[in-house]
């Protein structure tokens, strides 16, 4: 276990990058080791040694010296000079596909927040249309990737060189459904329906016609039906086929937060206690999952935390269930989960810096 570690963040300009910077700057293990922030900087910014971080994200300024930090022009030489050991990559997947093999060759450990390396099955990866698919470098890099959902892969994450941080929607659905499927309770022939809704920040910082205020406000819309990129994560991590689950995402007119409502049928009659026992046993020792013994989770109770909240109700027959899962898409669905993975990789307490 290391007492501290030098980190770097590439992609700090985005929503997830901003949250990642905030968490790392306040992490109790990293008080004297602020991250190196690197990325694209224009000529004027480069001439001044980079862009002040507080110009990009004013809320990150503070009395602990953070006002002096800068986004510096990215170079491998910069990371080497600063002694970086762990690289957080918060960039689009196309950039991660290019950068991460080089980072691994330079013996950096990497936590990637994009979808570049999440999927082990080439059929599932096809949705991304990766240009380097099947190349020797891509195959070798994918072989090193560990899916970064601590509640499922805690031991593998601890020793990983490349952690592929899960998607936000995928995290909400997998955590809700995996314990029940693994316990053999779910009647997969009847299928699982996952109806998920996310705040607009889940679409990223770059504006689009769909995320523009005039479209998103006072509206609720479905998208990515039968084609969303997170679907492959559900199949691989829950252990179901495409014919056994339907996942439909929706855009909520709120800034952040996810609520997934999942409908499923049990093979045999269950009681509330029998289902709760499965969840309790599965998540024993998982500090970032909160099981609702009564009532159902709401976005307002999980937003701006790193908790995944799970609750459920059974019908009178005990054969059908509705499971509700809530989390913050920028924290447990992105930056907070990345820091949770860092803690595991460093041998620190899993929830350090996330309270």
pLDDT confidence bin for 202, thresholds 50/70/90: confident
Rounded-to-integer distance, Cα 73 and Cα 183, Å: 49
Residue 307 phi/psi, 5-degree rounding, is -85, 145
Mean pLDDT for the stretch of residues 80-101: 97
pLDDT exceeds cutoff 90 at 118: yes
pLDDT confidence bin for 63, thresholds 50/70/90: low
Greater pLDDT, 248 or 31: 248
For the chain, the structural domain boundaries read 7-165+334-346, 168-327
Architecture in CATH for domain 7-165+334-346: 3-Layer(aba) Sandwich (3.40)
Rounded-to-integer distance, Cα 227 and Cα 143, Å: 25
- Tell me how far CA of residue 263 lies from CA of 141, 190, 219, in angstroms: 36, 10, 24
Which residues pair with residue 145 across a beta bridge? 162
Calculate the average pLDDT of the chain. Answer: 95
Q: Which CATH number fits domain 168-327: 3.40.50.720, 3.40.50.2300, 3.30.360.10, 3.50.50.60?
A: 3.30.360.10
Q: What's the pLDDT at 100?
A: 98
Catalytic residue among 84, 168, 299, 331: 168
Q: What's the pLDDT at 205?
A: 80
Instruction: Note the pLDDT tens digit of each residue in 171-186.
Output: 999 999 999 999 999 9
Is 168 part of the annotated catalytic residue set? yes
pTM: 0.96
Q: What's the pLDDT at 20?
A: 97
Mean pLDDT for the stretch of residues 201-224: 84
């Amino acid at each position: 276990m290391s007492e501290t570690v030098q980190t770097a963040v590439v992609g700090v300009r985005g929503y997830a990058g901003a949250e990642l910077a905030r968490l790392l700057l306040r992490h109790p293990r990293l008080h004297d080791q602020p991250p190196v922030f690197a990325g694209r900087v224009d000529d004027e910014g480069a001439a001044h040694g980079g862009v002040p971080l507080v110009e990009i994200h004013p809320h990150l300024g503070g009395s602990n010296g953070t006002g002096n930090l800068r986004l510096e022009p990215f170079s491998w030489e910069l990371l080497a000079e600063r002694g970086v050991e762990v690289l957080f990559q918060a960039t689009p997947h196309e950039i991660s596909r290019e950068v991460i093999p080089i980072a691994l060759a330079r013996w950096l450990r990497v936590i990637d927040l994009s979808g570049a390396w999440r999927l082990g099955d080439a059929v599932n990866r096809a949705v991304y249309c990766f240009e380097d698919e099947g190349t020797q470098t891509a195959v070798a890099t994918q072989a090193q990737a560990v899916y970064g959902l601590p509640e499922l892969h805690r031991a593998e994450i601890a020793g990983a060189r490349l952690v592929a941080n899960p998607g936000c929607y995928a995290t909400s659905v997998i955590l809700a459904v995996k314990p029940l499927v693994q316990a053999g309770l779910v009647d997969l022939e009847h299928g699982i329906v996952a109806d998920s809704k996310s705040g607009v920040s889940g679409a990223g910082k770059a504006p689009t016609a769909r995320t523009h205020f005039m479209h998103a406000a006072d509206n609720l819309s479905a998208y990515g039906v039968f084609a969303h990129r997170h679907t492959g994560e559900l199949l691989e991590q829950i252990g179901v086929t495409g014919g056994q689950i339907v996942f439909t995402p929706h855009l909520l007119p709120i800034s952040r937060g996810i609520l997934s409502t999942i409908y499923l049928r049990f093979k045999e009659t269950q009681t509330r206690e029998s289902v709760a026992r499965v969840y309790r046993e599965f998540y024993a020792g998982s500090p970032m999952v909160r099981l609702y013994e009564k009532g159902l989770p709401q976005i307002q109770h999980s937003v701006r935390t790193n908790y995944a909240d799970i609750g459920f109700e059974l019908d009178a027959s005990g054969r059908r269930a509705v499971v509700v899962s809530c989390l913050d898409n920028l924290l447990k669905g992105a930056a907070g989960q990345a820091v949770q993975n860092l803690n595991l990789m460093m041998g620190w307490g899993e929830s350090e810096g996330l309270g």
